[in-house]
């Protein structure tokens, strides 16, 4: 199982499911995210400028989704990482952490996992 959760839900998730694996898909994550089952994974995070442009209204949500999706698709590292995470999800629950301000990020990221796993 692969589930996307907000960064604010990480502690509660690890307590409920101590055998899970957590991938933090944000740039500059908080330092408190130092648990044995937490893997920092900034390769799946949107570029900081992209997030900033969305917050400032320079990009629409559709433009953000399109650019972030292209970034993920055109990066060979992310494709391999997604395949690896999908294979891990067969043996344990996987949680992808995203910033709560970016629902667009969650939709794009989960869409990529759905496309590769199907």
**Distance (Å) of CA 111 to CA 14, 16, 68:** 24, 26, 11
Q: How far is CA 112 from CA 31, 54, 82, 107, 115, in A?
A: 27, 20, 8, 9, 5
User: If you average pLDDT over residues 23-34, what whole number do you get?
Assistant: 73
Which parts of 1-118 are beta strand (E)?
A: 2-6, 21-24, 38-40, 94-98
Q: Is residue 55 a contact partner of residue 101, using CB atoms and an 8 Å limit?
A: yes
Angle between helices 103-117 and 61-73 (to 10 degrees): 40
Q: How many domains does the chain have?
A: 1
Report the SS3 class of residue 26: coil
Domain that holds residue 10: 2-117
Question: Each residue of 50-84: pLDDT tens digit?
Answer: 888 988 999 988 898 889 888 888 888 888 888 89
pLDDT of residue 71: 87
Residue 95 pLDDT exceeds 90: no
């Amino acid at each position: 199982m692969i589930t996307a959760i907000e960064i604010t839900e990480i502690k509660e998730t690890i307590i409920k499911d101590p055998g899970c694996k957590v991938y933090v898909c944000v740039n500059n994550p908080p330092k408190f995210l130092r648990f044995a089952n937490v893997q920092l994974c900034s390769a799946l995070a949107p570029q900081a400028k992209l997030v900033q442009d969305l917050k400032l209204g320079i990009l629409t949500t559709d433009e953000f989704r399109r650019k972030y999706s292209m970034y993920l698709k055109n990066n060979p590292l992310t494709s391999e990482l997604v395949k690896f995470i999908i294979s891990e999800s067969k043996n344990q629950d996987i949680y992808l952490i995203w910033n709560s301000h970016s629902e667009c990020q969650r939709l794009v990221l989960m869409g990529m996992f759905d496309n590769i796993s199907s």
